[in-house]
Amino acid sequence: MEKEEAREYANFLLDLFGYNNRIVDNILEKEERQIFYQLEDIGLVKSETEFHVLYDGREWRAFFWNLEKENIFMYASGVKRGKKPKKREKRKESRNIYFELPEEVWYRRKSFGE
């Protein structure tokens, strides 16, 4: 997927989800739902179904879409594209800086005015 196309999909998702992690499926148009199925295939969103019993005993099904944030962050860091994730550099050796300080640092300082 090209960078510009990915950006369009990201803006599309942000417009629909806003600050939420979950949306109701029935707000989507047919074409939008097809995009969600494609995004589900690559792991960026996940569909979910809930069953509710109505007062008259009938069962009501509600369909939702959830953002898969962990996968989105992995794609953003390059893991899913075959790149290595960005790592913080580790120190080559562990050392105790206190042993490197000169001896006079350890003498007690005089208080102000002494």
30-41 and 3-17 helices cross at what angle (nearest 10)?
A: 120
Question: Which residue spans within the chain are E strands per DSSP?
Answer: 22-24, 45-53, 59-67
pTM of whole model > 0.75? no
* Residue among 15, 12, 60 at smallest CA distance from 36: 12
Structure confidence at residue 52 (pLDDT):
92
* Residue among 1, 21, 5, 23 at smallest CA distance from 70: 21
Domains of the chain and any CATH numbers: 3-106 (1.10.10)
Structure confidence at residue 92 (pLDDT):
58
Structure confidence at residue 53 (pLDDT):
93
* Token pair belonging to 16: 């629909």
Beta carbons within 8 Å of 61's beta carbon, 6+ residues apart: 49, 50, 51, 52
Please list the ranges in the chain whose pLDDT falls under 70.
1, 80-95, 108-114
CA dihedral 30, 39, 67, 87 (to 10 degrees): -160
Structure confidence at residue 112 (pLDDT):
52
Structure confidence at residue 110 (pLDDT):
56
